[in-house]
Amino acid sequence: MCYGALFSWFVAGPVLLIDTLKLSPLVFGWISFLGFGSAFALSGYLNGKFVTRYGIKTMLRLGWSIMLSAGLLMLLGKLIIGVNLWAITIPAILFKFGITFIWPNAFANAFNGCGHMAGYAGALYGFMQLNGASAIGAMVSHLHELNQIPFAMIILITGGLSWLIFETLVRPALPIEAIT
């Protein structure tokens, strides 16, 4: 679901920044490249440093907390500032920072105990991730992107649902050493 929210940025982001705010496609590309790239690098580095100390479960929860905070910040930005470059891009970059804590830890949990069939498990994981993301991106393409509220709602819904699924379905089924 979090991957679907990222796909949604590449569906909704250009409409918001290029069509609504009248930025050039090149500027959109640079914002996505530099902003998302920096967020990805920093959170990937921090995740690597902290996952051994705090565990996968804590890092996942941190990622979801940041993701949900980014969605709320984007909604507040619309209410306080309006449709503005900073009210859209800062929460979008914060969102990317948060999901980078989720992906590697979710990936590690997905393959726990699958060593004997890692190829099949990897193929299924990739299939589910890409198809789910494509479905969410396709749904977003039908929304009217006049402001950042639909994208903020996608961040909140996908983040909240993925956290809920983890806490209610995935975590209880994992061995305790896999989530500490």
pLDDT at residue 156 greater than cutoff 90: yes
Confidence of residue 137 (pLDDT cuts 50, 70, 90): confident
| Cα–Cα distance measured from residue 3 to residue 135, given in angstroms and rounded to the nearest whole number | 11
Average pLDDT across the chain, whole number: 87
Asked whether 180 and 58 are in contact (CB, 8 A), the reply is no
Provide the number of structural domains found in the chain: 1
Domain housing 67: 2-179
Question: 3-class DSSP state for residue 180?
Answer: coil
Task: Encode pLDDT of 50-107 as tens digits.
Answer: 999 999 999 999 999 999 999 999 999 999 999 999 999 999 999 999 999 998 888 8
Confidence of residue 173 (pLDDT cuts 50, 70, 90): low
CATH number of the domain residue 129 falls in: 1.20.1250.20
Task: Encode pLDDT of 106-118 as tens digits.
Answer: 887 777 666 677 6
pLDDT at residue 142 greater than cutoff 90: no
Q: Where are the alpha helices (DSSP H) in the chain?
A: 2-14, 25-30, 37-54, 56-80, 85-110, 118-141, 149-165, 176-179
Selection from 170, 146, 171, 143 nearest residue 157 by Cα: 143
| Cα–Cα distance measured from residue 13 to residue 16, given in angstroms and rounded to the nearest whole number | 5
- Tell me how far apart the 2 most distant CA atoms of the chain are, in Å: 53
pLDDT at residue 135 greater than cutoff 70: yes
Asked whether 137 and 55 are in contact (CB, 8 A), the reply is no
